[in-house]
Amino acid sequence: MVQTRQLRANHPNSHYASAIFQYEKEFAIKFRNITTLVFLDDKHRCKIGEPGHPIAAVERGKRVIVGKDTTFAVSDHDFAKAGMVPSVTMFCDIPETIDGDFYRGKVCIGLKDPIFQPSTPLRHMTELYNIFLTQKIPNPILCLYTDGGPDHWCTYMRVQLSYICLFLAFDLDYLVAARTPPSHFWKNPVEHIMSTLNLGLQCIGLMRSKMDDKYENLINKANSMKDIREIAESNPTLRDELIKSIQKPISFVHEIFERQSLKGVPFKTFNAAMNEDIEQF
C-alpha cells in the first residue's frame, strides 16, 4: 500500500529519473545473459527493548511473542536505545521483455545495529560483495537500483567510491547505478518486500540480553545513539558487548524472515559486515 501523501509528492526530475530506470531495465533485458540486476534498500529501524522489557518491533500496546513458548506484555513506550535495521537485497530474475515481471528473484536480508553498524556505502557494498562470494561471481555487467538515501545517493563521491571498489573487486566490464526520484522510493521493486517483512514482524516483541553490570551502568547514562557512541570512545569494549547483547533478537528475526518467501523462493539472511570486513574489502 502506498500512502496518499506519497502519491501527491512531486519532483521536477521525477520523469527523468523514471525514464532512467526504464532504460536500465531495457538494458538489462538486452544483455540478460551476462547481466546481474540488483535492487537495494533499508527497512525502517526495528526497536529492541531493554532486558526484561520487550518492545513491539512495529507496533506497541499489544501482547506479543518474544521467544519460543514465552509470552510477555509489551512495554508501553516507543523509545528504545537498541535496535536493528534490516538491509534488503533483491537479485532480480530479468524477464525476456519489458512487460515481464521484475518483482521476481532471490531476496537476501541482513540485520545490523544502527549504533555501531550504521548503513554506509562501503558497508552495503561489502555485504553485496560477500553475498556474491557465497553464491557465485556476478556477470560481467552489474546493474544497481536503489532509493535516494544518503547511503545510496549515487551522486555522492563516497557512494561512487564504494561502487568503484566493487567494480575493481570483481573486475567487471560495466556497472550501472541509478536511484529513485526524491519522494518516489516506492518505484524501487524491493520496497514491495517491506510489506512482506512487516507481516513477519507483527505481534513480536524484542529485547536484548543483559550485559555485565559495568556495561549496563554505562548504557543507563546514555539517552541517544550519539551518547552511546561517545561513551564507547572511552570504553572500547562496550561496542562488542552491546552488539553481542542484541544477537539473540537478531537470530530470532532471522528465523522469522527465513520462513518467508517471494513467489516460492525462500528469503535468505546474512550477517552484517563488521568494520574488519569493510577494511578488508
pLDDT score at 184: 73
Task: Note whether 261 and 108 are within 8 A (CB).
Answer: no
| Domain span including residue 189 | 13-209+246-280
The owner of cell 519522494 is 183
Residue 43: partners with Cβ closer than 8 Å, 6 or more residues away: 85, 86, 87, 88, 194, 197
pLDDT score at 1: 45
The low-confidence residues of the chain, meaning pLDDT below 50, are 1-2, 4, 61-62, 76
pLDDT score at 76: 45
pLDDT, tens digit (0-9, with 9 covering 90-100), for 179-202: 988 777 778 899 889 989 988 888
Dihedral pair phi/psi, residue 143, rounded to 5°: -115, 130
pLDDT score at 155: 86
pLDDT score at 23: 95
Distance CA 14, CA 146 (A): 15
CB hemisphere CA count around 48 (13 angstroms): 27
Determine, yes or no, domain membership for 236.
no
Determine, yes or no, domain membership for 7.
no
Determine, yes or no, domain membership for 146.
yes
Determine, yes or no, domain membership for 219.
no
Residue 106: partners with Cβ closer than 8 Å, 6 or more residues away: 90, 91, 93, 262, 265, 268
Distance CA 262, CA 264 (A): 5
Determine, yes or no, domain membership for 233.
no
Distance CA 150, CA 65 (A): 34
The amino acid sitting at 124 is: H
The C-alpha angle 248, 252, 257, rounded to 5 degrees, equals: 145
Q: At what angle do helices 213-220 and 225-234 cross, to 10 degrees?
A: 130
pLDDT, tens digit (0-9, with 9 covering 90-100), for 200-216: 888 788 899 999 999 99
Determine, yes or no, domain membership for 107.
yes
pTM to 2 decimal places: 0.85
How far CA 137 is from CA of 15, 129, 131, in Å, comes to 34, 9, 9
Beta-bridged to residue 266, according to DSSP, are: 261
Dihedral pair phi/psi, residue 158, rounded to 5°: -65, -35
Determine, yes or no, domain membership for 35.
yes
- Total domain count, the chain: 1
Distance CA 54, CA 47 (A): 9
Determine, yes or no, domain membership for 225.
no
Task: Note whether 201 and 207 are within 8 A (CB).
Answer: no
